Structure 1
Amino acid sequence: MKKRYILTDLDGTLLRSDQSISKYSVRVLTEALDKGHVISYATARSYISSMKILSTVPWKFPLVLYNGALLYDPVCQKLIDGNFLDTQISNEIIGIGEQNGISPFLFLLDADDKERVYHRKLNRSCDFQFFDSRPNDSRFKKVTPLLFPEDSKTIIVAFIGTYEEVSPIYQSVKNKFEDQIHIHFMEDSYITNNYFLEFSHPLANKKRGLELWCEHVECNTEDVLVFGDNLNDIGMFEEAGSKIAVQNAHEQLKKLACEVIDHHDKDTVAKYISRIV
């Protein structure tokens, strides 16, 4: 049997539009893992958020989380590796956002490496929608003042808003810290007419996440097959040996793909994996 190395995006790719995974996909992934194939996922989500959906799959290999900022061991449930943004820069970005009328969500690891999401009192519809999409999530905490503690590790400073609302923040932060940050700025898949603007460490991206993953599972990037749909998957597509875009993918990603398969709502990633393993 030829061992396959597979890394898939979640939202818009493996997951369906209602943020769920089908029983068929769970079965295919479980059987492939049981056969010895090396399969995992690279996502913008956290461990807690992704596991609420994917806990029925017996993940064995490192997970690439927060758009590549973290590599996480799902068996021992602990941090393996990561790239964290400077605390002073993080807090300055908060100030730039609030000068433009938007308070961010702060994604961090506390002194015990536990996932946290700090925020001010919510008063905007898009923030409520994001918060409500993660019910009973113990990471979320309202804090005053809204700052990263000195003993924390900054994962992401995330703003949500319309393009017109977050564009000035994007431009101001880019002008001041361009060489010291990584920026994700893309339309949100679930909150209509809103964008996610995220700032993180320069190496906190899926390209570097793929490289770290390969180091830990002991393969080369050209050995890996990746699936994706959005602009944050471009780094993976540039590095991987085989890259598969779903039909609903961004046109820019499709241009980098070796193959474009069916829509993500049709279990297309699982069907492809089933066929090749």
Structure 2
Amino acid sequence: MVQPNFSLAACTGDIYLRTCDLQGRHTVNYEAYKKEVDFTLRSNRNGHAQPFAIRVIPEIGRKFQLFSDTGEPLDISLSFSSRNSVPTPLRPDIFSKQYPGSLNDLSNFLSVNINPASAITSNFYYGNFQMEVMQYINSQSTESQTVNFDIEMEVEPSISIRNLRNIQITNASFSSGQDITGYEDFCIDGVGFSNYLVNLTSRNGITSGARGAKMFQLNGAMESLPYAASFTDDMNQTLGARTLSVEQARGTLPNRAPGRCLTDNARLFVTIPAGSWEHARGTYFSDVLTVTVTSQ
């Protein structure tokens, strides 16, 4: 039990109806997807505890949501528990059931939850809310107090590449005069961003292809072959945006929850020009191509 402290700066209301420690900013742990806001509340009149009910009103819209800097919404849910009672889900701008009041400041909990299936595509989300506490005497509403509070979530952006395997290319299915092309699908996953940059670098370095174009290099026992590498985030495309160590291609992360690479969302192409492979004397060539993705 918390004894009254009339000088407590974090309280809103008076000695008969007030909340303490709810006003201000509360930060959600994005890795846990939840926040327990512990605050105190008292409701009494004429020396007797009086029941109360609460409602939470979002500043924007009719849903409990946080918003990114660009205005992208992130749905949240709120539930309320008084003095260790079973948490009761809250609905926006609708009063809860009545709870027993108290003469003193007693603990209450406002639970903030984020659906783990939500796509988190920004590194910061914020929302402003107002809680109204209504006091009842003889089942009649008599007085109310309101308190404003903020909920925010800061996200440390992270990005990863999954399912990227070696690309095996053979000329068995290509005719003379055709470029040889192979590709590999993979998944780019992450949290706290929506766009990314892709950079490709070759262990063997860069060489000159036809007409002096810069290309990557495959090395064999007797010679080297130039090749081109490209990337796309459109799985319907058969050609990608050309990337070299001095250039970058852009991609967009699908609107889905992090850690859910159930399907691939990126494609890497490798192309060997016909003029290179047709005159090759060797039979085996290789390179190590490094794919670097950077969140934006």
Q: TM-score range by the shorter chain?
A: under 0.3
Select the structure that is richer in strand.
2
Q: Rg larger in 1 or in 2?
A: 2
Please state which structure has a larger fraction of its residues in helix: 1
TM-score, reference length from structure 1: 0.22
